[in-house]
Amino acid sequence: MKKLLLASVLALALPSVALAAPQQSNTTMTVDYENVQQLIKNQYAAREGCRSIKETPETSIMCQYADAASAQLTKLGYCYGDENQSMADSLWKKCSKSSKKQ
């Protein structure tokens, strides 16, 4: 199931993901997306794929993508939940005065 999820996310993400210096362990990944709702879905899926006890190249890519997607969402004016919300209850939304700042 995780491999299917990984393949689905990567199939959607790879056309707009650029990797710099892929042989190095501290790879930089950037995400450029126009469709914010799809970016949010991809970020959630990548973060879920990133939650693995065993680190593999696949989970590493998922974590890098989730981080890059989060950074892009922040650049686009989106925040992850409100100040008084737990992380478990937080969702990506347009930033407001009560939003958590990334």
Q: What is the pTM of this model?
A: 0.66
Band the pLDDT of 27: cuts 50, 70, 90.
Answer: low
Work out the number of other CB atoms within 10 angstroms of the CB of residue 50: 18
| β-strands 17-20, 28-31 pairing | antiparallel
54-93 residue pLDDT tens: 888 989 999 999 999 999 999 999 999 888 888 888 899 9
Q: What are the two backbone dihedrals, phi and then psi, of residue 80, each rounded to the nearest 5 degrees?
A: -100, 90
